[in-house]
């Protein structure tokens, strides 16, 4: 089967660079697109061709569908890779690509629509026997049903926007008195944020672990999973550290969550790469949360322990190839951890854009760095603050942690602040080292710090 001759990458930063690397290895020519302020960005330098698609404001450039489709047409690009964020989960964009005769490298428009409708996805799962958290069957449209379901499942409950996701548009309700007002507010907020007031109800489970499973599916309905990732180190729904395998889980649990992810993908008639997100409670019960219909930031940890290049698989499946990998071919080896390095104040997590005066990226045994940063480059204030991903692999979790600590020590940067000192703190925390913590880990860590007044040393960092 023939692959594409040329792909346009409708993204920027490290993921654009990551896609270019996969294309190089596959012998595919690449086209970068960029905004006015990014003509000197690394993805532009590395691509075979580049096209300026508009001003710095993402709405006028990286989200500008007509400009991107025009860029694809004038460069004779056969396919578009959307990366993550921006247009990657925009069903209308996927459809416009198809209309223009350009292959969208991702799932079907239908998959994107269902994935974007959290209440619908939940319904599909429930009907097909994938466990979901107790709650409403589809959106809640009257106050009577709301109260009836809340009483049945018991408080606390969680109101979620159908068009939300990733923690956006969620509201915890602790008792009956607060229910009605929360419902009205949730609907109003959902309408304002997503243009859709629909909300649904779930029992609020806490504490929980956030565990997701990478899947790959072809057009014939063959599906494999590439194991799980534990993403429980989050701050305000922003993942900061991810790892695979999930610490402390048994082979039996791993098979169970993997099989559920495959079942979920089949229920959705899913095609291409995707992630099935679950929450796991204290009793190891697994519940479906969402399907993410894009390649995720944290995909490298899975690549590191399976040896499978997820971006290449994405491209091959979009070109119509069938899966050559069987589940029994997939072997998991060692442990991988990813730290997201953001250009932010490491204590307050406020963005800290500016020019990088000096940069030493870590390397050496077991270290991979996915980045588009270089010395002299100015981190723009207009986009996401993530500037690098450091991925450490080891034969064991202990070895991966040790290597990550060494790599973070080698991550020298001057001119801007980064979250490197934060990561050093987490990697030295006894609860992180133990593994198997919940999503409340960071809150607990921060509370301990301020409570005991134990300032962790970070004075040796090179940040300005």
Active site residues: 294
Burial 82-91 (b: 16+ CB within 10 A, else e): bbbbbbbbbb
Q: Which CB, 75 or 439, lies closer to ligand MV4?
A: 439
Rounded to the nearest whole angstrom, what is the least distance from the CB of residue 279 to ligand MV4 in the complex?
6
Rounded to the nearest whole angstrom, what is the least distance from the CB of residue 175 to ligand MV4 in the complex?
17
Rounded to the nearest whole angstrom, what is the least distance from the CB of residue 108 to ligand MV4 in the complex?
22
- Residue 148: CA count within 13 A, CB half-sphere: 8
Rounded to the nearest whole angstrom, what is the least distance from the CB of residue 209 to ligand MV4 in the complex?
9
Burial 143-179 (b: 16+ CB within 10 A, else e): eeebeebbeebeeebbbbbbbbbeeebbbebeeeeeb
d(CA 16, CA 14): 5
Do residues 411 and 360 touch, judged by C-beta distance below 8 A? Answer: yes
Nearest to 407 by CA among 376, 377, 366: 366
Nearest to 209 by CA among 433, 438, 441, 431: 438
Hey, what are 324's tokens? 């050559």
Cis peptide before 245 (omega within 30 of 0): yes
Q: Which of 234, 306, 371, 385 binds ligand MV4 (CB under 6 A)?
A: 234
Binding footprint of ligand MV4, residue count (CB under 6 A): 18
Do residues 333 and 396 touch, judged by C-beta distance below 8 A? Answer: no
**What SS3 class is residue 428?**
coil
d(CA 404, CA 408): 6
Rounded to the nearest whole angstrom, what is the least distance from the CB of residue 68 to ligand MV4 in the complex?
28
Q: Which CB, 63 or 132, lies closer to ligand MV4?
A: 132
* Angle, in degrees to the nearest 10, between helices 65-74 and 91-99: 30
Q: Which of 290, 298, 304, 338 binds ligand MV4 (CB under 6 A)?
A: 290
Rounded to the nearest whole angstrom, what is the least distance from the CB of residue 173 to ligand MV4 in the complex?
12
Contact between 439 and ligand MV4 per CB under 6 A: yes
Nearest to 308 by CA among 296, 320, 325: 325
Residue tagged 């990732």 (tokens): 229
CB atoms within 10 A of CB 18: 25
Contact between 64 and ligand MV4 per CB under 6 A: no
d(CA 22, CA 11): 15
Q: Which CB, 130 or 359, lies closer to ligand MV4?
A: 130
Hey, what are 367's tokens? 């270290």
With CB under 6 A as the contact rule, which of the stretches 79-87, 196-204, 294-302, 418-426 interacts with ligand MV4? 196-204
Rounded to the nearest whole angstrom, what is the least distance from the CB of residue 287 to ligand MV4 in the complex?
7
Contact between 289 and ligand MV4 per CB under 6 A: yes
Contact between 156 and ligand MV4 per CB under 6 A: no
Binders of ligand MV4 in range 201-220 (CB under 6 A): 202-206, 208, 210
Q: Which CB, 207 or 354, lies closer to ligand MV4?
A: 207
Rounded to the nearest whole angstrom, what is the least distance from the CB of residue 4 to ligand MV4 in the complex?
33
Q: Which CB, 282 or 360, lies closer to ligand MV4?
A: 282
DSSP result, 80-129: EE--SSTTTT-HHHHHHHHHTT-EESSS-HHHHHHHH-HHHHHHHHHHTT
With CB under 6 A as the contact rule, which of the stretches 9-17, 197-205, 333-341, 428-436 interacts with ligand MV4? 197-205
Contact between 167 and ligand MV4 per CB under 6 A: yes
Rounded to the nearest whole angstrom, what is the least distance from the CB of residue 384 to ligand MV4 in the complex?
18
Element (H, E) at 393: strand 386-394
Contact between 133 and ligand MV4 per CB under 6 A: yes
Q: Which CB, 203 or 263, lies closer to ligand MV4?
A: 203
Q: Which of 55, 138, 166, 334 binds ligand MV4 (CB under 6 A)?
A: 166
With CB under 6 A as the contact rule, which of the stretches 85-93, 199-207, 250-258, 392-400 interacts with ligand MV4? 199-207
In degrees rounded to 5, what are phi and psi of residue 325? -90, 130
d(CA 412, CA 60): 34
Contact between 237 and ligand MV4 per CB under 6 A: yes
Contact between 288 and ligand MV4 per CB under 6 A: no
d(CA 18, CA 29): 14
Contact between 111 and ligand MV4 per CB under 6 A: no
With CB under 6 A as the contact rule, which of the stretches 12-20, 198-206, 301-309, 403-411 interacts with ligand MV4? 198-206
Contact between 61 and ligand MV4 per CB under 6 A: no
The maximal CA–CA distance of the chain, rounded, in angstroms, is: 62
Contact between 279 and ligand MV4 per CB under 6 A: yes
Q: Which CB, 42 or 264, lies closer to ligand MV4?
A: 264
Contact between 441 and ligand MV4 per CB under 6 A: no
Beta bridge partners of 103: 79
Q: Tell me which residues touch ligand MV4 (CB under 6 A).
A: 133, 158, 166-167, 202-206, 208, 210, 234, 237, 277, 279, 289-290, 439
């Amino acid at each position: 089967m023939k692959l594409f001759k040329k792909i346009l990458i409708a993204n920027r930063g490290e993921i654009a660079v990551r896609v270019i690397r996969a294309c190089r290895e596959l012998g595919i020519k690449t086209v970068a697109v960029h905004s006015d302020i990014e003509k000197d960005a690394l993805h532009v330098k590395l691509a075979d061709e580049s096209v300026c698609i508009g001003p710095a404001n993402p709405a006028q450039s990286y989200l500008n569908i007509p400009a991107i489709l025009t860029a694809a047409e004038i460069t004779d690009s056969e396919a578009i890779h959307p990366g993550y964020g921006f247009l990657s989960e925009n069903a209308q964009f996927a459809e416009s690509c198809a209309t223009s005769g350009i292959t969208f490298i991702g799932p079907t428009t239908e998959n994107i629509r269902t994935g974007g409708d959290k209440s619908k996805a939940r319904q599909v799962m429930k009907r097909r026997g994938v466990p979901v958290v107790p709650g409403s069957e589809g959106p809640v449209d009257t106050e009577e049903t709301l109260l009836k379901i809340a009483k049945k499942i018991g408080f606390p409950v969680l109101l979620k926007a159908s068009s939300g996701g990733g923690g956006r548009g969620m509201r915890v309700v602790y008792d009956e008195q607060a229910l009605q007002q929360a419902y009205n507010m949730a609907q109003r907020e959902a309408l304002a944020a997503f243009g859709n007031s629909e909300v649904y109800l779930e029992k609020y489970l806490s504490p929980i672990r956030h565990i997701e499973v990478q899947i790959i599916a072809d057009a014939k309905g063959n599906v494999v999973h590439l194991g799980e990732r534990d993403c429980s180190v989050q701050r305000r729904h922003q993942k900061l550290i991810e790892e695979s395998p999930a610490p402390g889980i048994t082979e039996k649990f791993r098979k169970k969550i993997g099989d559920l992810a495959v079942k979920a993908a089949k229920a959705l008639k899913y095609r291409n790469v995707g992630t099935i997100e679950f929450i796991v409670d204290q009793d190891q019960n697994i519940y479906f949360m969402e399907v993410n219909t894009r390649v995720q930031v944290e995909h490298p940890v899975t690549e590191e322990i399976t040896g499978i290049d997820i971006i290449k698989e994405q491209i091959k499946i979009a070109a119509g190839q069938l899966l050559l990998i069987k589940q029994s071919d997939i072997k998991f080896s060692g442990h991988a951890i990813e730290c997201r390095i953001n250009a932010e104040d490491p204590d307050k997590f406020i963005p800290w854009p500016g020019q990088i005066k000096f940069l030493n990226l870590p390397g050496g045994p077991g270290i991979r760095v996915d980045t588009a940063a270089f010395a002299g480059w100015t981190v723009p204030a207009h986009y996401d603050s993530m500037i690098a991903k450091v991925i450490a692999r080891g034969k064991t979790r202990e070895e991966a942690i040790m290597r990550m600590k060494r790599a973070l020590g080698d991550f020298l940067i001057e001119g801007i602040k980064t979250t490197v000192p934060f990561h050093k703190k987490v990697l030295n925390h006894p609860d992180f080292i133990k593994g198997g913590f919940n999503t409340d880990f960071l809150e607990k860590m921060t509370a301990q710090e301020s409570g005991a007044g134990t300032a962790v040393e970070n004075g040796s960092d090179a940040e300005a």
